[in-house]
């Protein structure tokens, strides 16, 4: 996902924008650029392919107190100097940056080229520059030309542009479900950014923490030395109230860990505890979800629950489906948001859709949510970002409260999702009379143990480092799990793939004999999730099928399971726990195994190649 940072003020813009871009590095990117309005009002443009530091290494930092920067995650056109943003017009009157996809860029580009515009890049984004230029050539002001451009493009995007000259003028707009634009004002200065961490240079002091506003879709902001003005795309004024943001939302650092991902794995006990805060009464041992938007009557009338998400959030949805059926007493299904949005599902006011997403900005998830709203379904989101698109579309938000997650690989937000899905299932079961008091109290008692049990798994990483040494160099992993652990097998496979680039796939263990068993040989490593749960014996059979064909098996077992331990090549252990906790526990060894294998392979763990923290393009 691309990153945008702009500054208007009295200080030198270059270091402020550079620092802002650095704080957006977690989003993933492959090139970067900064445009500064110099003392003579001219646009000074610097771009680099690769890391943001490439902008700094030359030491050539143009002077000026207004500027716009960008980190690009390539969608149209490979990473190159020409394709890096900002894109300027031929007279260098304006510089434009973009996050998202211009869906109608080909027809726009064809018309503009026929009208004599010369394109220098392969990107869709460059048409934005030429549209603003065309508007100004027709006599429109910069703001009018920028609004006209916003009305002409299709698709979800965030766009910003800066105008040359003595004044100071940055425009930015948001369309559709793309990653947002956040605006901060302090001490006569203003910044725009794709995300709160980009604004840290301006939000260093507590006194400035409150002056933050988020653009909604179809909104535009104009930043000048006189302040900030919000408009719609027709130029009508919009009133926006700044909201308080916490230091934690803005501050991001590794706290001494080598990677954000490791820090966030180690934060999981707190993340799980935080997800339960004010939602579990440990006195009465009952769940209460004050943020749940349906009344008791509406809950009683529900006849179906659909859980959706992408990537790791899809795996959470798949676990949630089991929990809702088992403890909520409702028919439930789970589906990838990217598939669900293109089905024509039957949705009624008695359908509850639960959209899961760490960022709350994943384009497929947000678009699927919009479809549910359009069809009259009830919509709840489990997400980690207040003010996100998802939290604005849903009828209600169950926030993960996991704290900002920087590592591209989702970890603590996954366990926070699983915790909230447990709470939701119990809450539905309580409310519908499906769970008696004793059962719901038993489930709550189990959840109360989760932070401690997860902490035990993280107390000593030596076992994970040892097994990573044992298995690094393996070219192919097959992850197997059953029931509520089948999605955990998928999650373990995804973690390994996305940070170590090693091929891995996951199957429900019962599916193995229907094809994948043909893959088994001594080079193949099978990671089998075989905790002592209701399907344990079935997984034992699968493990024996693998071993009978000389396959190597790394099993995740319940402590004390010496019998199965003797039958496999290596074992990782989880503490004995009630069944609804097991997915939170089996996940942790798989996260740590993936992390340590990626370390040994010297991968860019926090920003793996080709990936972005939030996929706001479709
Ligand atoms: C998971 O480690 C990846 N970062 C990715 O699959 C992610 O889960 C997916 O893109 C969905 O993101 P979201 O939770 O922010 O919607």
Give pLDDT tens digits for 95-143: 999 988 788 888 999 999 999 999 999 888 999 999 999 999 999 999 9
Alpha carbon of 347 to those of 340, 364, 368: distances in Å? 12, 18, 12
**Mean pLDDT throughout 586-602?**
98
Identify the active-site residue in 2, 171, 310, 383: 2
Tell me if 591 CB under 6 Å of ligand 1. no
pLDDT for the residue 252: 65
Atom of ligand 1 nearest to the CA of 408: 4
pTM above 0.85, yes or no: no
Tell me the C-alpha distance between 162 and 82, whole Å: 19
Tell me if 410 CB under 6 Å of ligand 1. yes
Q: Residue 347 pLDDT > 90, yes or no?
A: yes
**Mean pLDDT throughout 150-168?**
91
pLDDT above 90: percentage of residues in the chain: 75
- 495 counts as catalytic: no
Instruction: Provide the pairing of β-strand 189-193 with 212-214.
Output: unpaired
Collapsing DSSP to helix, strand or coil, 362 comes out as coil
pLDDT for the residue 26: 66
Q: Using the 8-state DSSP alphabet, how is residue 590 labeled?
A: H
What are the pLDDT digits (tens) for 46-67?
999 988 888 988 788 999 999 9
Least confident of 21-35, 279-293, 390-404: 21-35
250 against 501, higher pLDDT: 501
Q: Are 412 and 402 in contact (CB under 8 A)?
A: yes
Q: Residue 29 pLDDT > 80, yes or no?
A: no
Q: Residue 73 pLDDT > 80, yes or no?
A: no
Residue among 177, 311, 338, 384 whose CB has most ligand 1 atoms within 8 A, to mutate: 311
**Mean pLDDT throughout 240-268?**
80
Q: How far is the CA of 513 from the centre of ligand 1 (A)?
A: 30
Q: Residue 253 pLDDT > 90, yes or no?
A: no
Q: Residue 245 pLDDT > 80, yes or no?
A: no
User: What are the phi and psi torsion angles at 121 (to 5°)?
Assistant: -125, 175
pLDDT for the residue 331: 98
Locate tokens 């393996």: which residue? 474
For residue 521, how many other CB atoms are within 10 A of its CB? 11
**Mean pLDDT throughout 378-391?**
93
pLDDT for the residue 617: 73
Tell me if 409 CB under 6 Å of ligand 1. yes
Tell me if 498 CB under 6 Å of ligand 1. yes
Q: What is the mean pLDDT of the chain?
A: 92
Q: Residue 208 pLDDT > 70, yes or no?
A: no
Nearest Cα to 156, choosing from 77, 223, 203, 102? 102
Residue among 73, 195, 313, 497 whose CB has most ligand 1 atoms within 8 A, to mutate: 313
Q: Give the chain's largest Cα–Cα span.
A: 81
Residue among 383, 410, 417 whose CB has most ligand 1 atoms within 8 A, to mutate: 410
Q: Residue 353 pLDDT > 80, yes or no?
A: yes
Tell me if 384 CB under 6 Å of ligand 1. no
What confidence tier does 567 reach under pLDDT thresholds 50, 70, 90? very high
**Mean pLDDT throughout 24-32?**
76
Instruction: Provide the pairing of β-strand 351-357 with 304-309.
Output: parallel
Atom of ligand 1 nearest to the CA of 615: 10
Q: Give the tokens for residue 12.
A: 């030198």
- 51 counts as catalytic: no
Return left, alpha or beta for 278; rule: phi > 0 is left, psi -120 to 50 is alpha, else beta: left
Q: Residue 219 pLDDT > 80, yes or no?
A: yes
Alpha carbon of 72 to those of 90, 109, 163, 195: distances in Å? 21, 20, 21, 14
**Mean pLDDT throughout 405-420?**
96
Q: Are 291 and 399 in contact (CB under 8 A)?
A: yes
Name which residue sits closest to atom 3 of ligand 1, judged by CA: 409
Atom of ligand 1 nearest to the CA of 409: 2
Tell me if 310 CB under 6 Å of ligand 1. yes
Each residue of 58-87: b (16+ CB within 10 Å) or e? Answer: eeebbebbbbbbbbbbbbbbeebebbbbbb
Atom of ligand 1 nearest to the CA of 359: 15
Tell me the C-alpha distance between 404 and 58, whole Å: 32
Q: Residue 249 pLDDT > 70, yes or no?
A: no
Q: Residue 250 pLDDT > 70, yes or no?
A: no
Q: Are 457 and 589 in contact (CB under 8 A)?
A: yes
Q: Residues 6 or more apart from 56 whose CB is under 8 A from it?
A: 18
Name which residue sits closest to atom 5 of ligand 1, judged by CA: 311
365 against 210, higher pLDDT: 365
Q: Residue 156 pLDDT > 80, yes or no?
A: no
Q: How far is the CA of 614 from the centre of ligand 1 (A)?
A: 6
Residue among 358, 361, 382, 394 whose CB has most ligand 1 atoms within 8 A, to mutate: 358
Alpha carbon of 165 to those of 40, 220, 485: distances in Å? 7, 21, 60
């Amino acid at each position: 996902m691309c990153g945008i940072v702009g500054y208007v003020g009295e200080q030198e813009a270059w270091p402020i924008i550079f620092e802002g871009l650095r704080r957006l590095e977690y989003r993933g990117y492959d090139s970067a650029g900064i445009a500064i309005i110099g003392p003579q009002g001219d646009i000074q443009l610097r771009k680099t392919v690769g890391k943001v530091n490439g902008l700094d290494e030359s030491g050539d930092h143009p002077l000026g107190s207004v500027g716009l920067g960008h980190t690009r995650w390539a969608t149209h056109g490979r990473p190159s100097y020409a394709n890096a943003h900002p894109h300027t017009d031929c007279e260098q009157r304006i510089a434009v940056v973009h996050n998202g996809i211009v869906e109608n860029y080909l027809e726009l580009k064809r018309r503009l080229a026929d009208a004599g515009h010369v394109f220098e890049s392969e990107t869709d984004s460059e048409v934005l520059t030429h549209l603003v230029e065309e508007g100004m050539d027709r006599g429109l002001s910069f703001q009018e030309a920028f609004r006209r451009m916003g009305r002409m493009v299709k698709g979800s995007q965030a766009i910003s542009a800066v105008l040359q000259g003595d004044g100071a003028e940055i425009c930015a707009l948001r369309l559709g479900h793309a990653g947002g634009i956040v605006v901060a004002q302090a001490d006569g200065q203003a910044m725009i950014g794709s995300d709160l961490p980009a604004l840290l240079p301006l939000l260093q002091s507590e006194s400035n923490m409150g002056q933050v506003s988020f653009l909604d879709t179809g909104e535009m902001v104009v930043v000048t030395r006189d302040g900030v003005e919000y408009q719609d795309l027709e130029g009508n004024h919009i009133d926006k109230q700044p909201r308080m943001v916490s230091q934690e939302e803005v501050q991001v650092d590794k706290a001494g860990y080598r990677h954000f991902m490791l820090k966030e794995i180690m934060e999981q006990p707190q993340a799980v505890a935080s997800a339960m805060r004010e939602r579990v009464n440990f006195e009465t041992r009952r769940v209460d979800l004050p943020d749940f938007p349906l009344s008791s009557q509406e809950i009683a009338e529900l006849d179906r629950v659909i859980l959706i998400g992408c990537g790791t959030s899809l795996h959470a949805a798949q676990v949630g489906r089991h929990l809702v059926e088992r403890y909520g007493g409702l028919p439930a299904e789970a589906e990838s948001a990217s598939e669900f949005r293109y089905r024509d599902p039957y949705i009624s006011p008695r359908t509850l859709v639960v959209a899961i997403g760490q960022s709350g900005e994943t384009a497929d998830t947000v678009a699927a949510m919009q479809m549910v709203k359009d069809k009259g379904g009830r919509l709840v989101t489990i997400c980690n970002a207040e003010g996100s698109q998802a939290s604005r579309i849903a009828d209600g938000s169950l926030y993960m409260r996991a704290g900002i997650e920087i590592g591209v690989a989702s970890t603590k937000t996954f366990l926070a999702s699983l915790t909230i899905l447990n709470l939701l299932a119990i809450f539905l079961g309580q409310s519908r009379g499906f769970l008696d008091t004793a059962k719901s109290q038993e489930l709550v008692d189990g959840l109360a143990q989760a932070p401690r049990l997860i902490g035990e798994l993280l107390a000593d990483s030596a076992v994970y480092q040892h097994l990573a040494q044992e298995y690094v160099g393996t070219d192919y992993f097959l992850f197997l799990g059953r029931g509520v652990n089948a999605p955990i097998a998928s999650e373990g496979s995804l973690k390994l793939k996305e940070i170590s680039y090693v091929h891995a796939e996951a199957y429900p263990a019962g599916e193995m004999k229907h094809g994948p068993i043909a893959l088994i040989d001594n080079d193949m490593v099978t990671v089998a999730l075989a905790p002592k749960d209701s399907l344990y014996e079935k997984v034992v059979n699968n493990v024996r099928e693998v071993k009978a064909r000389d396959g190597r098996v790394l099993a995740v077992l319940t402590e004390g399971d010496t019998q199965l331990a003797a039958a496999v090549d290596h074992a990782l252990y989880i503490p004995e726990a009630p069944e609804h906790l097991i997915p939170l526990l089996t996940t942790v060894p798989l996260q740590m195994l993936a992390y340590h294998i990626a370390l040994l392979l010297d991968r860019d763990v926090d920003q793996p190649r080709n990936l972005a923290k939030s996929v706001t393009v479709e």
